[in-house]
Structure 1
Amino acid sequence: MQFTYVYDCGTARSLDLLQKEIDTYLESIRCPWTYTPHTASEFYLYGNTPYFDLSRNHYLRTIHKSLYKRNYSFSGTPFTTEWDDAPEQTTQPSHIDIVFISHFDTDHINGLAYLIQNTIVKILAIPFTTPRERFLHLCKSTFANNASMNRARSGEYYDFILEFTASPAGAIRRFPEFLNREASNITLIEIQHERDNEGHGRHDFTHPVYTPANSSGDNKNKKHEAIPVWLFSASTLQGNADELGAELIDSLIKQGIIDSESDLENATTLQYIFDRKDISSKIADTYRSIAHKNLNATSLILHSGPAHPENSPAFHHMFWRGDQTHKFHSILEVHSPWATGWLGCGDANLKKATNVNLFDQLFWKQKLFSSTFAPPHHGSQHDWNQHLLDAFGYPSESAPVCVFSADGLYKHPSPNVIADANSRGSTTYIVTTDPKSRLTETLAILVPTDKIRFY
């Protein structure tokens, strides 16, 4: 079984580079590759740790007996590795089970159209936002730093970006028209922020991934329940975009640029006011006076990890660096069997202590079992608090690997954020537009099956 997801799809750099990266990603998920353990001694270190008792844990005894007797297959960007030089592509078409969009800045969404055009996307999950919030993000992408939106405006996907900003549901309904491809069913989920969840650690959205359990013996012909093996948990952290957007819209109405807020739900209107230089210059001045350095985005925070992490130890957990034209070498091996999850913050503003406390209320358990952390806003100092790194690790505290997707265009990541993470013991990686910086994480996880009820 293969389940594939994407968290954000955009760039502030060249769209050509982004499209090549998407092509690489879609090609890679069709390329299984094999890792063969060199010796059984690679796994003995787990049995020597006080919290990893092989003698008392049935799952661990089972995996320990078989670990060095088999190969392990992964799907991902290492087309060539130290052990397998020529993995073959599968014949099945690639598909993405779910795409998460953290927020509506153009550098997070301008690759979505190309992704939809070139593969099958089953579910698209976005944070619930008002039209004025999305309009504010369009202004930010256009006026705060001209690079990302100006590149998009000259491309073939500009109409889709405007439609997606005006009405995400409308853009998904009309994507065959925009992208010149056959219609397919994309389920759009708008994740609304539920304030009642804040104090209870519940999330605004959860999506379990199930796999059928193989029956054996006398139960071979009986039906059985599917097992939840993976779980996506997401919560929307609200910023001030709705309030600032309301102020911006009021000013634009008074200037006669738009008649009402409902104009923002019409992509044709958006194109008209942004293409007219006299009008767009007025919008730019108004945006900068109201929101330029004050905007905190409403952003979707996502965790991806085993459904039962306390019973799902990981093996062969490694980070790899490089692209498909080079031999891959493991640059880091994670020796904690319980550090299995990934936690990403989008552009959420987590600088204030109150927001850090809310983040911890929502994701305290996920932090215990996460190996990889994508700090907010590409490592921007504006959205960072070093206490975000508190309370990672199980059974004792340990710092996660921090990954920053940025290449300095907006001075991200901040050297101060890198220093904070390193001082807390985190290994830090910066992934840029250079393919040699690509970071791939692989791990094999033992999933418990003893709770299956046959009937």
Structure 2
Amino acid sequence: MILQRTFHPVGQGAFYTERHKISNGKDFTIVYDCGSFQFTNLKNRIKSAFQKGEEIDILFISHFHVDHINGIKELKERCKIKRVILPLLDEKTKYILKINNYLAKNYKDTTLIDNPKRFFDEETSIIQIEEEGYQDHRVNPDEIEDINRLNNIDKKKSGTVFSYDKSLSYKDQWLFIPFNYKQEDRFNLFNKLLKEEYPYIPLNKLDDIKIIEKYEAELKKIYKKINGDLNVTSMILFSGSIKPTPIRCWNIPIKPHPSQYYEYYSCPHDFKYLNYEYRIPSGCLYTGDINLKKDENIVKEIKSRLRLQWKSIGTIQIPHHGSIHNFSEEIISKAIKCAIISFGTTNTFGHPSDKIMGDILSKNIALYLVTENIETMVIQRK
């Protein structure tokens, strides 16, 4: 199998792709999130990544913030998306997402949140991942689902294991394992403050953009008090195999200065300084905007559920653009040698955190800052 994984330079957002060329000669392509506050740049990267009419086998959506979803319409118009795997939303989660997207970026399109089936083409299968419930068991071959057999199945359990080639032995199969975690702390605080300060606002009608617009001033005041970011769900994704097979990693320096980087990279990463290459385990943990810091049990659960795959995770996408509020060092294993932080250079949120970057570098991990600039793109190839 040949794999090319790309962390695309789209600025304050996320757009990650994997292209698998498998043993039967077929291509299998996934996308994890497609959005950015630098929307024009994102559209250009989509056109650069995919030819018109190209097939995407799975689009994974971590959550429904503007900077993770606003490129999906462009993506589906350019490509044929066969399947979408996304978090299952309840009604209260839907309305809080609409409020967040409107207040954060005046984003009014709610179709994807309200009705994913209507948003995509009829031929696109929608698979919704239920909220995670702790299950202390390992993945085994009998539990692996064949992606090619998935049609319009409404719901799957968090932690369901998908593979695109079950003809291979268990250890050789490439696995996709999504986990949907629900974190309601900010949601509950938002509701509490809203009821206390503006009891006349009808909570049961805030799923309507017109009502949100009507009470925009009041909602903004509460939003600022909790420092924004009303994120309730975040679906993380393990992509990899049980085998810790190696993958090579490059960035694309416009003006390479090998001597500047040699000391930092050479020892831990089998560095070849002329092309900024090093080898790491091929698995990746995509984390979206999950809050790993708020609840220590989440990290324990992730480690428990993925304990057979843990040594094969060489790359981690740091959650929420490197926010100081979302990262926990406990998620870092000895196998992880590469960390990705996606952010826009003009963001006003303090992303990425200086402390988080220091914590990552102190663990002798290669840190890549993927921005809107083309030279920050990171490519991995197996």
Distance 2:115 2:189 in 1: 21
Indicate the structure with greater strand content.
Answer: 2
1:210 aligns with 2:210: no
For 1:78-117, list aligned pairs within 5 A: 93-117=53-77
Any idea what SS the aligned residue of 2:290 has?
A: coil
1:162 aligns with 2:187: no
1:404 aligns with 2:338: no
**Corresponding position of 1:34:** none
Any idea what SS the aligned residue of 2:173 has?
A: strand
Which residue type is aligned with residue 232 of structure 2?
Answer: A
Q: Is the 8 A contact 1:106 1:141 kept in 2?
A: yes
> Please, what TM-score do these two structures have when normalized by structure 2?
0.73
**Corresponding position of 2:14:** none
1:186 aligns with 2:124: yes
Report the Cα offset of residue 365 of structure 1: 3.1
**Corresponding position of 1:373:** 316
1:113-146 superposed Cα distances (whole Å, 9 cap, x missing partner): 1111111001111112223223223323333xx4
Any idea what SS the aligned residue of 2:123 has?
A: coil
Q: Is the 8 A contact 2:194 2:222 kept in 1?
A: no
The change in CA–CA distance for 1:205 and 1:330 in structure 2 (over 3 A counts) is farther
**Corresponding position of 1:71:** none
Indicate the structure with greater helix content.
Answer: 1
Distance 1:250 1:121 in 2: 42
Report the Cα offset of residue 348 of structure 1: 0.9
1:190-214 superposed Cα distances (whole Å, 9 cap, x missing partner): 10024142x225652321111767x
Unaligned runs of 5+ in 1: 28-91, 176-182, 214-224, 324-328, 394-398, 444-455
Any idea what SS the aligned residue of 2:276 has?
A: strand
Unaligned runs of 5+ in 2: 1-25, 140-157, 255-273
**Corresponding position of 1:330:** 275
Q: Figure out how many residues of one structure are paired with residues of the other and give that number.
A: 316
Q: Is the 8 A contact 2:251 2:375 kept in 1?
A: no
Distance 1:345 1:319 in 2: 21
1:230 aligns with 2:174: yes
Report the Cα offset of residue 162 of structure 1: 1.5
1:344-372 superposed Cα distances (whole Å, 9 cap, x missing partner): 11111111433322232223333310121
**Corresponding position of 1:20:** 44
Report the Cα offset of residue 405 of structure 1: 0.8
Which of 111, 115, 124 is equivalent to 2:84? 124
**Cα RMSD over matched residues?**
3.0
Any idea what SS the aligned residue of 1:303 has?
A: strand
Distance 1:362 1:245 in 2: 32
Distance 1:377 1:98 in 2: 22
For 1:37-436, list aligned pairs within 5 A: 93-143=53-103, 146=104, 149-150=105-106, 153=107, 158=108, 161-165=109-113, 167-169=114-116, 172-175=117-120, 183-197=121-135, 199-201=136-138, 204-210=159-165, 229-240=173-184, 243-244=188-189, 247=192, 254-257=199-202, 260=204, 264=207, 269-270=208-209, 272-276=210-214, 279-289=215-225, 291-292=226-227, 295=230, 297-306=232-241, 308-309=242-243, 313-314=245-246, 317-321=248-252, 330-334=275-279, 339-351=281-293, 352-389=295-332, 391-393=333-335, 399-408=336-345, 409=347, 410-436=349-375
Structure 1 or 2, whichever has the larger Rg, is 1
Higher relative CO (CA 8 A, sep ≥ 6), structure 1 or 2?
A: 2
> Please, what TM-score do these two structures have when normalized by structure 1?
0.62
Report the Cα offset of residue 226 of structure 1: 11
Q: Is the 8 A contact 2:132 2:181 kept in 1?
A: no
Q: Is the 8 A contact 2:43 2:71 kept in 1?
A: yes
The change in CA–CA distance for 1:416 and 1:204 in structure 2 (over 3 A counts) is same
1:274-298 superposed Cα distances (whole Å, 9 cap, x missing partner): 444xx22123234445x44585532
Q: Is the 8 A contact 2:190 2:223 kept in 1?
A: no
